[in-house]
A and B are shown apart, each in its own frame.
Chain A
Amino acid sequence: MSSAELREHAPAAPIWDAKTPADPTFLKLKGVTKSYGGGFLAVDDLDINLPKGKLLGLLGPSGCGKTTTLRMIAGLQDITSGTISIEGDDISQRPPYRRDIGLVFQNYALFPHMTVAENVAFGLDMRGVSKSEARGRVEEALEMVRLPGYGARKPKEMSGGQQQRVALARALVIRPRILLLDEPLSNLDAKLRDDMRVEIREIQQRLEITTVFVTHDQVEALTMCDLVGVMHGGKLAQLGTPEDIYERPANLFVAEFVGRANVLGCEIEAVDRVRIGSSTYPCDTKGASSGKATAALRPHRIQLSPSRDRSLVSIATNSTHGKVVRVTYIGDVVQYDIDIGGSVLTTEVHTSSAGHSFRTGEKLLCEWKPEDMQIFKGGR
């Protein structure tokens, strides 16, 4: 599949690892729509196919419909139209308790009146699993989330991270067909979040359980997921691998929402170049040959060098001169804001123990590869 195809990729088209012989449509959302009174569409005609054993991240700002989508899969919210099916089995109209789904909530939702073991055993009890078998499976599940022997505790006696693990054990012990995670890490502090990210991914891959993960955190989406669906205004802005999303954003929204980007207004001069200000830059305009457009350029993809090195500039790169207007030291990187005549480019350079080399007012040469500049039709 070429990159051009990916960019114009229709959401329903399957994307999966060719090596995996898995069913490409284990979880299938077809035309799923949720509307509230007054014609407001919380989720608008969503098509998603998720292969078995894959982790899909639904990423987007608050109010984009990602949580509503998850709740519709879980059956906690009715769908207005469309169908949701697991392995061809249409579950759209089925109540949540007959969907066989494991669900982990943002605030854990552990039953406060039950012990940890009772919480984990709840779903097994509902399935009529015998007490003795349940005991074994509960202990197994608690071991899996590295909480062996915690069964007798009450949820309130545990930390947030531990409660989250119990919630995960409770959702997984019933061996659900799919696992749904609703912002599971957002109530944890930064260090714990990093650990849990790795842990959840590890468990998900070991159990090969098809999972949908809702998050507003792009790092979580990019690092944990096989597929990322970026949502915006109830629609799927792009569905693809983390690399697709980051390197080949389908539209300006995705380019700006995932990672950081300099956004510059430009004029398309031909299919292979645009004009920004008074300079012309080679790039791929995705077939457009004229009209207003917007260019997106990642800060760390811009190379900086002292102005005098102009002779070394390859004709294969884009370059422009500019003046440093602001230096911001962040720790692992230094951010230089560079005035390139009319607009300001934000750039990032990794720091070293030698310190950072450029100062405010210094004249610099900025270079980037044509393929690092994404062009989207339409002005701002």
Chain B
Amino acid sequence: MTTTIATTPSMSAATPWIRRIPLVVVLMLIPMAAINLVAFILPVARLAMISFIESRSGGVLTDTFTLENYIDFFTDSFSVELISNSLLLGFIVTLATLICAYPIALFLHRVSPRWRNFLFVITISPLLVSSVVRTYGWMVLLGDQGVVNGLLMSAGIIQTPVRLVNNSLGVYIGMVEVLIPYMALSLIAGFGRLDMVFEEAAASLGANSWTRFRRVILPLTMPGIALGCLLCFVLAISSFITPKLLGGGRVFLLATEIYDQAVIQLEWPSAAATSVIVLIIFGLALALYSRVVKRFD
């Protein structure tokens, strides 16, 4: 991003770009760079390394490098199920979160400034409560004796309780609620270009409300949608507390598998290999995001 860095005209183009960065900028970047190096880049490098190490039974690490961990992963049919479960969770939860959060974000974007800040705080206030607590709340609500089943039965819509928890449905419901604030935040952040005047212009040119949404609002909010989807997809695939609690041990995902491999089976190299595969999925999602953003910029 050399274009954003202020340069004085006296500096020639031949000067290496790094030398053209003002000293104060370098100094201000150092703390974050150091933290990132120690707390992110080095651990990830170490993780990638462990994924290539051979382990003996009981989780003892050897000094031998091997591709065994990856070969095991890809030859196991259970892995296919893990990947497809995780991707399905990622897509469904992201889409459902988008559908729930989009109207909220659009409303917050349009509401008068007098109310905006207050409503904005309300929207993101669930973040003040730990997702573990909220997940337990959902277990109570969605259980066989829970409020939701109770209401549906007393309304006569169902005769026997519907299984809403300890399965994928429960995980989806819980995840969507956990992720809505993140999605709403990202959407609002990406709605910068959306202005009422574009809708008015479209209306004057003959576009009804559906066409205005499709041809004007949706494309203009695409940066926000892409950002929110990326964030929620990554969070959905990497979360394991909510799937573990609401899945009741019956929903198998990459994140829960990594936890089991590392903490229960003590198979660190296998866990590391699975983690690297998750990282690659995230990398692909990021690449897709950049393409969408470029396309709609």
Query: What is A's interface to B at a CB cutoff of 8 Å?
Result: 74-76, 95-103, 105, 107, 109-113, 122-123, 126-127, 170-171, 174
Contacts and interface: CB of A to CB of B under 8 A. Distances in A.
Interface in B189-215: 193, 195, 197-198, 200-208, 211, 215
Given A111-B216, A113-B296, A174-B206, A103 B211 contact: no
22 contacts: A74-B204, A95-B208, A96-B200, A96-B204, A97-B204, A97-B206, A99-B204, A100-B206, A105-B197, A109-B195, A110-B201, A111-B202, A111-B216, A111-B220, A112-B220, A122-B202, A122-B205, A122-B215, A123-B206, A126-B206, A171-B205, A174-B205
B220 A103 contact: no
B219 interface: yes
Contact of B205 (A95, A112, A113, A126): A126
Contacts of A76: 200, 203-204
B216 A109 contact: no
A105 B201 contact: yes
Nearest to B208: A97
Nearest to B219: A113
Contacts of A109: 195, 197-198, 200-201
The 7 closest A-B pairs by CB, nearest first: A126-B206, A123-B205, A103-B204, A109-B201, A96-B203, A109-B197, A113-B219
A123 B215 CA distance: 12
Contacts of B220: 111-113
Most buried by B among A76, A101, A170: A76
Most buried by A among B195, B206, B211: B206
Contact of B200 (A105, A126, A127, A174): A105
Given A111-B216, A112-B198, A122-B202, 16 more contacts: A74-B200, A76-B200, A76-B203, A96-B200, A96-B203, A96-B204, A97-B207, A100-B206, A101-B204, A109-B198, A109-B200, A109-B201, A113-B220, A122-B205, A126-B206, A170-B205
Contact of B201 (A95, A98, A100, A111): A111
B204 A126 contact: no
Contacts of A171: 204-205
A276 to B, nearest CB: 50
B129 to A, nearest CB: 38
B203 A97 contact: yes
A351 to B, nearest CB: 43
Chain B interface main SS type: helix
Contacts of B198: 109, 111-112
A171 B203 CA distance: 12
A111 B216 CA distance: 7
A95 B203 contact: yes
A98 B203 CA distance: 9
Interface in B213-244: 215-216, 219-220, 222
Nearest to B202: A122
A115 to B, nearest CB: 13
A103 B198 CA distance: 12
Nearest to A100: B206
B209 to A, nearest CB: 8
Nearest to A167: B201
Contacts of A111: 198, 201-202, 216, 220
B201 A103 contact: yes
A51 to B, nearest CB: 23
A103 B203 CA distance: 10
A117 to B, nearest CB: 14
A105 B216 CA distance: 16
A111 B203 CA distance: 12
A97 B201 CA distance: 10
A121 to B, nearest CB: 10
Most buried by A among B193, B200, B219, B220: B200
B134 to A, nearest CB: 37
Nearest to B220: A113
A76 B212 CA distance: 14
A180 to B, nearest CB: 8
A99 B208 CA distance: 12
B105 to A, nearest CB: 18
Contacts of A74: 200, 204
Contacts of B211: 126
Nearest to B296: A113
A131 to B, nearest CB: 16
Nearest to B201: A109
Most buried by A among B200, B201, B211, B296: B201
A98 B222 CA distance: 28
B183 to A, nearest CB: 22
